[in-house]
Amino acid sequence: MYGKLTFICGPMYAGKTTELLKRILWARNGCGKAVLVLKPAFDNRYSITKIVSHDGLSVESKAISSFNEVISLIDDAEMICIDEAQFFTSPHFQDDLIEWVSKFLANGKEIVATGLDMDWKGQPFDISARLSAMADDVIKIKANCTVCGTSAAKTFKKIPNDEQIELGANNLYEARCNTHWKL
């Protein structure tokens, strides 16, 4: 039986991790599923051992730099949840996330992943674009523009530089509508 991939994407502050947390709780409490929650070890903004939403909701997770760190847990998992997929790249991550997700799906695993669909320059993250293409369901969530409050699909970087990946929260990033987002 082939698995199912759901990819939850959008800009910063859209509620991607909150949606993932809701699905983890439903799977564990409502369905009694064995859920393996993974986050990139690189993302230590709020916690080393939990995925944490910007509003403080959290659940225990495994922070990894390689899937070899959790290989013994994968067989028992009925559902694998991956937060911040865009960070599962070199030099912060040693494996090919897409290759592993393909293996999980071929082994019948249900996967729910979250990630930014675009960087602050409006360019797609390769990992996110590939997960979107593979996904059975893509859920694009929007945030509220920090300038005007309307629907926001872009991430704005307050201090621009050449870095595509730079850890930060509201100290560095804001959600913006197309009108207030600028390069």
Q: What CA–CA distances, in Å, run from 125 to 36, 43, 100, 143, 160?
A: 24, 16, 18, 18, 17
166 within domain boundaries:
no
Instruction: List, for residues 95-116, the tens digit of each pLDDT value.
Output: 999 999 999 999 999 999 999 9
Which letter does DSSP use for residue 38 in this model? E
Q: Give residue-wise pLDDT tens across range 20-32.
A: 999 999 999 989 9
In a domain, 74, yes or no: yes
- Domain for residue 151, yes or no? no
Q: How is 13-29 classified by DSSP, letter by letter?
A: TSSHHHHHHHHHHIIII
Asked whether residue 20 is domain-assigned, the answer is yes
The catalytically annotated residue of 84, 110, 163, 166 is 84
Active site residue 84: yes
Residue 165 confidence (pLDDT): 80
Q: What is the CATH number of the domain that holds 15?
A: 3.40.50.300
Is 156 part of a structural domain of the chain?
Answer: no
- 114 phi and psi angles, rounded to 5 deg: -120, 155
Q: How many domains does the chain have?
A: 1
Domain membership of residue 35 (yes or no) is yes
CB 10 within 8 A of CB 135: no
Q: Which amino acid is at 42?
A: F
Find the DSSP H helices in 3-151.
16-25, 71-74, 97-106, 126-134
User: Does 155 map to a domain?
Assistant: no
> How big is the chain by its Cα radius of gyration, in Å?
16
pTM of the full predicted structure?
0.92
Question: Two tokens at 4?
Answer: 């199912």
For the record, the structure tokens of 129 come out as: 């674009």
Residue 177 lies in a domain: no
Residue 99's domain spans which residues? 4-141
